[in-house]
Amino acid sequence: MVVAGPLAATAAGQGSQSPVGGALLTTEPTVVADGATPPAVQASAFVVADLDTGSVLAAKAPHAKLRPASTLKTLTALVLLPRLNKTDQVIGTGQDAGIIGSKVGVYPGLRYSVDLLFQGMFLASGNDAVHALAAHDQGGVPATVQRMNQKAAEIGALDTHVTDPTGLDADGQYSSAYDLALFAQSGLRREDFAKYASTKYTNFPLAKTGTYQVANQNKLLFNYAGALGVKTGYTTLARNTFVGAARRDGHTLVVTLMNAPHGITEDASHLLDWTFKNYSALSPVGALVKPAAAGPKTASEPNAANKAAAGTQLPRRSRTVLAPGQAVQALALRIPVWFYAAPPILLLGLFLRRPRALRIHARRLRGRRH
């Protein structure tokens, strides 16, 4: 059975009368597919979708609100990547190093590029790297949380509510398999997001000297042909969560799983294999909604004119409007001190250096006297 409603819905156009993305995409634990029966998996919720067309091809409890663990970092990246200059240097703090959960090894007093911190965030799921990045942005962690909730609403991820950008278990923090697919779709459209998500290894500095190798925790990258990576997650309460994508035969698929006891990579591989194999026989059972039209920029958003390149932002500079008198005074303060001393010195040179005609006349007078 195919969803009767339009599959090209937008985030802004979703009404409360039906679930986001289609009538079949509910919170019920029933597996929904049309054209073939997907393999059984242990996750409480999953979504398989075509990232190019937006078609949801199979789902189980896609809108169930569950703890996302570190898969929420996909949304964190969506917010921070356009805002931070990747060449900026960030000094690690005690708050970064003292955060609980998975860490990549951010030490107080050491310098890290924003680029390296994003690698630590994607590959090692470093909560310390996330905290350092969020704290580096304007408004720090609280502002990042606010922007994440705004971004989720903008792209139609209405099952998501953020209280901690690391994805750690926190009161009131939840997402859904459907929303994780939206985050992956938006993220993989960005070149930088896709690069970080698919990077297998990087080197991260040690506290005193040297580096150590960090491997991507998404095992799909190492054992699945066409894998694009994305993000894994685990906490005691969330259990295993997963976002994986792969490209084969001209199709780019994403699979998201939540609340799985174990075997998450195998389950993801089985769902991807099934979808690629049966792709031509499958009919959409829902859709990934398109983001709502972007509204006017707020004062806290980056100025696109100040971006050094796509996906990066130059450091923000404060702008102050001066009154005419203040402008003159400010200009005067910027003029170096030696500039004021230059005119008298130049005039003194004129007095000390007699004109050539006067020097010749003086020599003639001295000659006559002798």
Number of neighbours of residue 368 by Cβ within 10 angstroms:
6
Q: Indicate the DSSP class of residue 71.
A: G
**Nearest one of 243, 246, 219 to 233, comparing CA atoms:** 243
Q: For residues 193 and 188, give the distance between their C-alpha atoms in angstroms, rounded to a whole number.
A: 6
Q: How far is CA 78 from the centre of its chain?
A: 4
The phi, psi pair for 157, rounded to 5°, reads -85, 75
User: Active-site residue numbers?
Assistant: 70, 73, 125
Q: For residues 288 and 224, give the distance between their C-alpha atoms in angstroms, rounded to a whole number.
A: 24
Residue type (1 letter), 157:
A
Contact 315, 85 (CB under 8 A): yes
User: How are beta strands 251-260 and 227-235 bridged, if at all?
Assistant: unpaired
Enumerate residues 6+ apart whose C-beta is below 8 A from 362. Answer: 354
Using a 10 angstrom Cβ sphere, with 0-12 exposed, 13-18 middle and 19 or more buried, the burial of residue 295 is exposed
Q: For residues 366 and 358, give the distance between their C-alpha atoms in angstroms, rounded to a whole number.
A: 13
The two most distant CA atoms of the chain are separated, in Å, by 126
